[in-house]
Amino acid sequence: MSIDAPSSTAADSRREFDETWQQWHRRHEEARADPHGFLAVTGLHWLTPAPQRIPGVPGEWHTGDGGPVVSLGDEELVVDGRQVRGRHEFGSIAERAGVTVGFDGGVLEVARRGGHDILRPRRPDHPLRVDYRGTPTYPPQLGWVVTGRYVAFDSPRSTTVGAAVEGLTHVYDAPGQIEFAVDGVPLRLTAFNGVTPGSLSVLFTDATSGVTTYAANRSLSVGPPDEQGRVTLDFNRATNLPCAYTDFATCPLPPAENRLPIAVEAGEKIPYERLADDPADRA
């Protein structure tokens, strides 16, 4: 029994690791396939000072001095739970922010990206969402859970990166870098602020990009550093951004220094929707 115990403990730990990853992956896929998620986006429309109509969307839209404006006439939108007709001004929208309003058959994202006001209709019956069958992944491996060290910059560094849309750029304040090693190879990644306070977000490519994983980027969320600056990079949870699925996304590209020279054979692979031939051959 004393000999078998460590093996049993290791097996239990591995089983718990696999189950935890499966639960995370299932929640992530459910969120991705939300009726009004990015798989439901049917178009990307750039507003200008000249009024324009967007196919399938109520009203006539333009960018005014104070932000997006719609002239609805007798048509209707649902804004903050109330029906709106006539002229409606959305006010100034902050960069990378947006509001969602309702219309018959879906919702409409009114947002600002790269200094431009945009509209993105989202319909639950969009074929990309209806036909979505999940994203292929590498099997989760404990070896791709890596401990790193967060090194904060003296002050956040303004970092300009490209975007999935040609000619568009994004600017982020990078608070620091994460240093780590894989198979003895020292590596580092510039980190941006994450969604929750204290957390970090990393955009990267690696030697699998464009081969088994999406060419432009993948994203990894990292929990807050501990008192010694230690962080955990679980590359099994490296995920695709919306641009991996749809051309109607404005996703940021990784900073040049985040192009890893190693093959990160973990996390999400190229979506079936981007495979030119038989998906089974590339899964």
At 2 the pLDDT is 37
CA atoms of 233 and 252, how far apart (whole Å): 20
Looking at residue 10, its pLDDT comes to 77
Assess whether 145 and 270 both reside in one domain.
yes
Does 155 lie in the same domain as 125?
Answer: no
95 part of a folded domain: yes
Query: Using CA atoms, how far apart are residues 84 and 60, in angstroms rounded to an integer?
Result: 14
Residue with tokens 């093959």: 263
pTM exceeds cut of 0.75:
yes
Q: Are residues 104 and 139 located together in one domain of the fold?
A: no
pLDDT in tens, 32-72: 999 999 999 999 999 999 999 999 999 999 999 999 999 99
Residue 55 domain flag: yes
pLDDT at 280 over 70: no
Q: Note the pLDDT of residue 283.
A: 40
Mean pLDDT, to the nearest integer, of 137-162? 97
My answer on whether 73 and 212 are in the same domain is: no
Same structural domain, 162 and 220: yes
Residue 118 has pLDDT above 80, yes or no: yes
How high is the mean pLDDT of the chain? Answer: 93
The answer, yes or no, to whether residue 232 has pLDDT greater than 90, is yes
Average pLDDT over residues 71-84: 95
Given 109, 130, 151, which residue is the final one in a domain?
130
- Picking from 115, 130, 145, the residue at the C-terminal end of a domain is 130
> Based on the domain organization, do 91 and 168 belong to the same domain?
no
Between 23 and 277, the more confident residue is 23
The answer on 85 and 65 residing in a single domain is: yes
Q: Is residue 167 part of a domain?
A: yes
Query: Is there a single domain that holds both residue 182 and residue 228?
Result: yes
What confidence category does residue 227 fall into, taking pLDDT thresholds of 50, 70 and 90? very high
Q: Is residue 267 part of a domain?
A: yes
pLDDT at 199: 98
| DSSP 8-state class, residue 260 | -
Count the domains in the chain.
Answer: 2
Q: Is 29 part of any domain?
A: no
* pLDDT recorded at residue 250: 96
User: Does some domain include residue 27?
Assistant: no
Q: How many helices (H) and strands (E) does the chain have?
A: 3, 16
pLDDT at residue 12 tops 90: no
Q: Residue 103: in which H helix or E strand, if any?
A: strand 98-103
Question: What is the model's pLDDT at position 3?
Answer: 40
Q: Which of 170, 142, 156, 163 is nearest to 200 (CA)?
A: 156
Which residue range forms the structural domain that includes residue 175?
Answer: 135-282
Segment 208-216 shows an average pLDDT of 98
Backbone angles phi, psi at 73, to 5 degrees: 60, -125
Query: What's the pLDDT score for residue 11?
Result: 83
> 211 lies in a domain?
yes
**Residue 265 in this model has a pLDDT that exceeds 90:** yes
Give the pLDDT confidence score for residue 282 in this predicted structure: 40
Does residue 235 sit in the same domain as residue 144?
yes
Assigned domain for 3 exists: no
Token pair, residue 199, equals 């957390």
Other CB atoms within a 10 A radius of the CB of residue 200 amount to 25
Higher pLDDT, 101 or 276: 101
**72 shares a domain with 144:** no
The residue with tokens 């001004």 is 89
Compute the average pLDDT of residues 215-222.
98
Which residue shows structure tokens 């894989």? Answer: 182
Residue at which a domain ends, from 104, 130, 156: 130
Percent of the chain scoring above 70 in pLDDT: 94
177 and 121 in a common domain: no
Same domain for 148 and 60?
Answer: no
